[in-house]
Amino acid sequence: MMAKALLIILGFSSGVVVSAGVFAFIAAIGIIPRMAQRSITEKYIPLYEDIILLGGLFGTITMFIDFRLPPIPILVGGYALAIGIFIGVLAMALAEVLNVMPILLRRSRIAKGLPWMLLCFALGKMLGSILYFCVDGFYVV
């Protein structure tokens, strides 16, 4: 009983620390205000911050507790979509902060087709993820 209580305290404490670190990183690269500005939802920024914090806590708790989602295709698909959107937005925000795209465009002398290039990056990442998870031999549990 004491061990379980200690694990609960440890899990909660870890969740708080991880969530704070993730949120600080996301706030430092400015992903929340930028996404809110682009989607014209600036009034929901506090809600976005709370959801990110709760997501970090939930993710940490699921690492410590043997928790599995039921294999309902709509749940699995929704979860995969949400994770994919988060990682894609985070990667693009980090690339934007590091000025990767302007440097790449300047060095490669690409004047046209930037939207198509970004679409190809995203589709390539999606195809790689699908191969990784769906083809035997790529993903081992």
DSSP state of 141: -
Whether the pLDDT of residue 73 is over 60: the answer is: yes
Q: Which residue has the higher pLDDT, 55 or 140?
A: 55
What percent of the chain stands above pLDDT 90? 1
**CB distance 58 to 70 below 8 Å:** no
Whether the pLDDT of residue 17 is over 60: the answer is: yes
Q: How far is it, in rounded angstroms, from Cα 62 to Cα 60?
A: 5
What mean pLDDT do residues 36-58 have? 81
The residue whose two tokens read 């061990």 is 3
Sign of CA dihedral 41, 35, 119, 80: negative
pLDDT band at 65 (very low <50, low <70, confident <90, very high): confident
The reported pLDDT for the residue numbered 127 is 84
What mean pLDDT do residues 41-68 have? 79
Query: What does each C-alpha distance from 62 to 32, 67, 70, 107 come to in angstroms?
Result: 25, 6, 14, 44
The reported pLDDT for the residue numbered 14 is 77
Whether the pLDDT of residue 100 is over 60: the answer is: yes
3-state secondary structure 4-66: HHHHHHHHHHHHHHHHHHHHHHHHHHCHHHHHHHHCCCHHHHHHHHHHHHHHHHHHHHHHHCC
Q: Which two tokens stand for residue 7?
A: 């694990």
The reported pLDDT for the residue numbered 141 is 52
What mean pLDDT do residues 95-111 have? 71
The residue whose two tokens read 């039921």 is 70
